[in-house]
Structures are given as structure tokens and as C-alpha cells.
Structure 1
Amino acid sequence: MTEPPLESWDLLPGTLVEIRRAGRPVQTGRIDAVTVNADVLWLAANGMHPRRLFEKAEGYEVWPVRTD
């Protein structure tokens, strides 16, 4: 069963998520930080991917990644 996208972005740093836009995967990673209003988040740098900012207003969605 597929989890729905997360409406609230006020997640704890370290949470593993997949970022999607227009239904397509953009990047998977761990949340590094979230703004107070939870409209912007950063994924931590990982390997060849630098730290990256995503804004809800630009159409990005956050999907939980199950690790079990």
C-alpha cells in the first residue's frame, strides 16, 4: 500500500523522504531542516547530491519512505 504525500512538512530532521513534483520523483534523502512555517525544507547533502532546498509553493510534495 502506498503512503499518501505528507501535507504538513513540519518533520523532524533525519526523516527519510522522497520529494516529488508533478507525480515524478525528484530526490530521496533525509530532512536537514524545515522552516518555522513548514513551507520550505532542506534535504541534507548525500554523496554527489548537495544540500537542496524545496518549496511547497513550487509544487513539490513530500512522501514518506518506509525503511522496514
Structure 2
Amino acid sequence: TTVLHSYGNDGLPSAEVTAFQAADARLKYQKARIEYDPKGCARYQGVAPDGQLRSEPLLDARSQPICAKNL
């Protein structure tokens, strides 16, 4: 028998996903995705209307960069 454990937030999007969705709604870059910089901070990256690859930090609800806490 397999025992499943619920951690209470299985269906909730992460801070990165929430910030990505907001940035994507605003910027609408093609091939948009979440990338991470060398410091472990999440970034919205995609191809801008001018054809250039662009990136900007993903920010949390307090307008702070979303970074891995262990880096």
C-alpha cells in the first residue's frame, strides 16, 4: 500500500510561477521561460518583439527578487 503525504500546498503555484505569469501578461515575449542567474535568482527570459533575447528579474509580492535561500 502506498501512503500519500499532503504538505498542504500541492496545488498552489510557486512564487516563481506567480511572478512569471504576471511578467508574461505584461511583456508577452515569445518562447518565454523561467531561468536562473548565477546567484540563484529567478528571471523571466524570452524573445522580445525586436527579436532580441531579453531577461528581467522575477519579483515577489514585496517587489523583491526571488532567489534560492541556500545560495
TM class by shorter-chain length?
A: 0.3 to 0.5
More strand by share: 1
TM-score scaled to structure 1, two decimals? Answer: 0.34
More helix by share: 2
Larger RCO of the pair (alpha carbons < 8 Å, separation 6+)? 1
